Amino acid sequence: MRIIISGGGTGGHIYPAIAIANELKAIDPKTEILFVGAEGKMEMEKVPRAGYTIVGLPVVGIKRELTLSNLAFPFKLGRSLLRAQQIVREFKPDAAVGVGGYASGPLLLAASLKGIPTLIQEQNSYAGLTNKVLARWAKRICVAYPGMDAFFAADKIKLTGNPVRSDIQFASQQVETGRRLFGIDGNHPTLLIIGGSQGARTINESIEGGLQRFVDAGIQLIWQTGPAFIERAKAAVAATGSSLIKAYDFIYDMDKAYAVADSVVSRAGALSVSELCLVGRPAILVPLPTAAEDHQTKNAMSLVEHHAALLVNDRAAREELVTAALNLLANPAQQQKLSQQIKTLGKPNAARDIANEVIKLAKPESGLAI
């Protein structure tokens, strides 16, 4: 098989794409996979790191506010469509997969125009604009939440959950390795803070303002700040004089970070929510308020309504987040309840289920159902 996977822009798009690719290769090692991303975006570094080839399109997003950069949008979109058509013509894929993000639009449209079957993977509980536009041509739409027939034709939908990196599913086996990697003492409660692949300013500033409270309570922090905040975080950590706080711009060994965490503070991006469900960690979610259609709040509420997570609004985080985290870490019974509930929402076979749907499109004569 020859498969194109397109999309990116954030870790929430890239890592599910890599998980699908890994599963396709696991099912049939001879499968050839080409990634298509947006030039200058993080997929151009993360995908090669995972061992796959990627080519970039000059496509950019259109800003919601009036800006000069929007004037270039139609020209870059036109160039991207031409480049996408060239890629499809040269690679000759059996199927194309779109995971959301700028590049998936031109590529899936080019594939559809050539009669190549396409699959969309929608991670969020509120469908993104690109996927809503592409849905009319897609043969299959894999979703993570029920009720997505509000956006897509019901006969195209397959409820699979979100694929995550395979190592996340085995995080519980990495406790000792994680403690060594992060220099964690098993005698102190540990809080993992992940604002997303680029960090989260509100979360970072909330944690920064409460560092001494965590130190005084004997709490260890593993703090992923994103690259823009790391120097400021390191200075704040140094000012406490404590060895309990570890700040990183990016954590590649996320399975080991989850393994040693007693609780987690996180944004409510689709990938983060799916990973938390699989590892079963009690979590406080701080949804990004500027996410399209406020989809992160909708993602978070899907857990909160099942008593599977706590929610702190972004606007209240600077006053409430640290207190909420300290209260949760001091309440083992609440941690256990949240952990039990969130585990019931996990879908560990998501990557395999989506890969099988891709195979059915690429090789309909195979009748494959693994």
Ligand-binding site membership of 272 (annotated): yes
150 and 175 both lie in a single domain: no
**Annotated binding residue 11:** yes
Tokens linked to 259? 């393994």
Do the annotations mark residue 271 as ligand-binding? yes
Predicted TM-score (pTM) of this structure: 0.82
Contacts of residue 219, defined as CB under 8 A and 6 or more positions apart, other chains included, come to: 188, 189, 190, 191, 244, 326, 329
Q: Do both 214 and 150 map to the same domain?
A: no
CB within 8 Å of 207: residues ≥ 6 apart:
193, 221, 223, 265, 321, 322
CA triple 230-236-238, angle to 5 deg:
100
Q: What is the pLDDT of residue 368?
A: 52
Predicted local distance difference test score (pLDDT) of residue 192: 98
Answer yes or no: is 273 a known binding residue.
yes
Residue 366 is assigned to a ligand binding site? no
Domain count, the chain: 2
The token duo for 320 is 């409430």
Is 274 labeled as ligand-binding? yes
Q: Is 270 annotated as a binding residue?
A: yes
**Domain region containing 28:** 2-162+348-366
Known binding residue 202? Answer is no
| Domain shared by 128 and 202, yes or no | no
- Per-residue model confidence as pLDDT tens digits over 313-358: 999 999 999 999 999 999 999 999 999 999 999 999 999 999 999 9
Annotated binding residue 124: yes
- Residue 251 assigned to a binding site: yes
The answer to whether residues 130 and 206 belong to one domain is no
C-beta separation of 181 from 253 below 8 A: yes
Q: How far apart are CA 362 and CA 85, in angstroms?
A: 19
CATH number of the structural domain spanning residue 141: 3.40.50.2000
Which pLDDT band holds residue 59 (cuts at 50, 70, 90)? confident
Dump pLDDT digits (tens) for 112-146. 999 999 999 998 888 888 889 899 999 999 999 88
> Which of 285, 281, 277, 282 lies closest to 328, judged by CA?
282
The full DSSP string for 146-200 is: TTGGGTS-GGGEEE------GGGGGGGGGHHHHHHHHT--TTS-EEEEE--TT--
- Tell me, yes or no, whether 54 and 121 share the same domain: yes
Half-sphere exposure of 253 (CA within 13 A, CB side): 15
CA distance 229 to 349: 35
Is residue 179 annotated as involved in ligand binding?
Answer: no
Q: What is the pLDDT of residues 183-235, one digit of tens each?
A: 998 899 999 999 876 669 999 999 999 999 999 999 999 999 999 999 999 99
232 shares its domain with 145: no
Residue with tokens 């309504």, as numbered in its chain? 305
- Asked if 36 and 129 sit in the same domain, the reply is yes
Residues 79 and 194 in one domain: no
